[in-house]
Amino acid sequence: MARVLITGSSDGLGLMAGQLLVNDGHAVTLHARSDERAADARRALPAAEHVVVGDLSSIEATRRVAEEANALGRFDAVIHNAGIGYREVQRTETVDGLSHVFAVNVLAPYLLTALVTPPDRLVYLSSGMHLGGNPDLDDLQWRLRRWNGSQAYSDSKLFDVVLAFAVARRWPDVRSNAVSPGWVATKMGGRGASDDLSLGPLTQAWLAVSDDPAADVTGGLFYHQRPGDVNPAARSVELQEGLLERCGDLTGTRLPDR
């Protein structure tokens, strides 16, 4: 039995992955951004052991999520599932004055990775849209460019892969991978999504707990339990280090050495 924390799991793919893991006998801790959403999560998956609560758009609240998670004991795996989609029609700022998309999709998984006791496995949810992501670090908060929600999302999903690969390189004893779940009909994906929804949560659950040798790897991106196409920029050590440095500057927390 593995202990698994899944962020953004009050509904959608996070909740579905939690259900798969519970069905296989694993101990799951869900995460919701509010008490109301936490109650929804408990009703949807009463077999979950715990639900941690906090809005990942806030640096302070993300720190509290990490504290709450650590108080529950060390996890064997953490699935960084929480995310904002590509439909924000205008740039929205968080309480910290950051781009909402960047704060939730990139900065929160960075900060949780830095603060939560390192597990054996880390899984970061990306997207096939990361292939069109812009690796330029100069305007992460979209203050200089005209807002483009689709591009901001693509950039953030590229940075999720960059983060996964950076952690894999920095922490060789932790298996750190990214997942493209496919375009599936969740609230984020929309009703027109063409991929198989039943396959959407499988790969992240598999990477989190499976004894399959194909899942016992690090520094990869997977689509439906197979290696997926990767934006070549994600392999750049310079980009990886640059992203870690900027996230460290924004949060005041550096990724620990191991």
Q: Which residue has the tokens 């050590």?
A: 237
Q: If you average pLDDT over residues 136-153, what whole number do you get?
A: 96
- What is the pTM for the complete model shown? 0.95
Range of lowest pLDDT (57-66, 176-185, 193-202): 193-202
Residue 139 to residue 112: CA distance in whole angstroms: 23
Residue 242 to residue 135: CA distance in whole angstroms: 10
Is pLDDT of 255 > 60? yes
pLDDT for 44: 97
pLDDT for 85: 87
Share of the chain above pLDDT 70, in %: 94
- CB-CB neighbours of 25 under 10 Å: 9
Domains of the chain: 3-251 (3.40.50.720)
pLDDT for 185: 46
Residue 153 to residue 4: CA distance in whole angstroms: 26
Is pLDDT of 225 > 50? yes
Q: If you average pLDDT over residues 23-28, what whole number do you get?
A: 98
DSSP letter for each residue of 185-230: -STTT-TT--S-GGGTTHHHHHHHH---GGGS-SS-EEETTEE---
Q: Is 153 designated active site?
A: yes
Q: Which of 86, 124, 153, 223 does the annotation list as catalytic?
A: 153
Q: Place 197 in a pLDDT band, splitting at 50, 70 and 90.
A: low
Q: Place 188 in a pLDDT band, splitting at 50, 70 and 90.
A: low
The pLDDT mean for the chain works out to 94
Q: Is 86 designated active site?
A: no
Q: Which of 110, 157, 187, 223 does the annotation list as catalytic?
A: 157
